[in-house]
Structure 1
């Protein structure tokens, strides 16, 4: 049985960031900085998307001098379709409530 739930706002943010330039490989640190997620939230999202065939992942072939190789991510065609669907179905953020105005003396 497959479940089809709406992606979380955090997942939608990651999908949107990746969909901005779908052919570009991105690493987690940059994605986390862009969408404002810490590693403990970001990497489970990336792993889940990758396990579902929505992301391709690869190791860096030419890491920067003095740095270990990092995982790189980009959307598959199915991931790009999900990103487009999520972007089109995202409801506008609820307007903040305004504090009631004090009543003036009559």
Structure 2
């Protein structure tokens, strides 16, 4: 049975960001800003996810005059299942509490 690889941290971030509002269409630049990732990372991730059937893609229908339509993305059923799996397997991030300067314990 082939072993599946865990997605990269960037791919996981993109999938989880799309899962925040799974029925909403999102565009790549918006994800770049939200995740503080470069377009050169985000767009290849979006293309791979779409090629694997994890994303639906569409062109924006009502682009303002003078601006070309944007390519939009949202999770498919299998993409949402992946997001659920990734969210469940991600370790929760807990803030680190550092001792105050001069504190030497009790």
Q: 1:11: Cα distance to partner?
A: 0.7
Q: 1:10 and 2:39 equivalent?
A: no
Q: Which residue number corresponds to residue 55 of structure 1?
A: 55
Range with greater deviation from structure 2 (61-70 or 86-95) = 86-95
Instruction: List structure 1 segments (4+ residues) > 3 angstroms apart after TM superposition.
Output: 92-96
1:103: which partner in 2? Answer: none
SS at match of 2:67: coil
The alpha carbon displacement at 1:90 in A equals 1.3
Q: Note the aligned Cα RMSD (angstroms).
A: 2.0
In the alignment, is residue 37 of structure 1 matched against residue 37 of structure 2? yes
Find the counterpart in structure 2 of residue 19 from structure 1. 19
User: What is the TM-score normalised by the length of structure 2?
Assistant: 0.82
Q: CA deviation at 1:92?
A: 4.4
With structure 1 as the length reference, what TM-score do the two structures score?
0.82
**Structure 1 residue 52: Cα displacement:** 0.2
Where do 5+ consecutive residues of structure 2 fail to align? 99-106
Correspondence 1:60-75 to 2 at 5 A: 60-75=60-75
Q: 1:86 offset after TM fit, Å?
A: 0.6
Alignment: residue pair count: 97
1:86 equivalent in structure 2: 86
1:28 aligns with 2:20: no
Contiguous gaps of at least 5 residues in structure 1 = 99-106
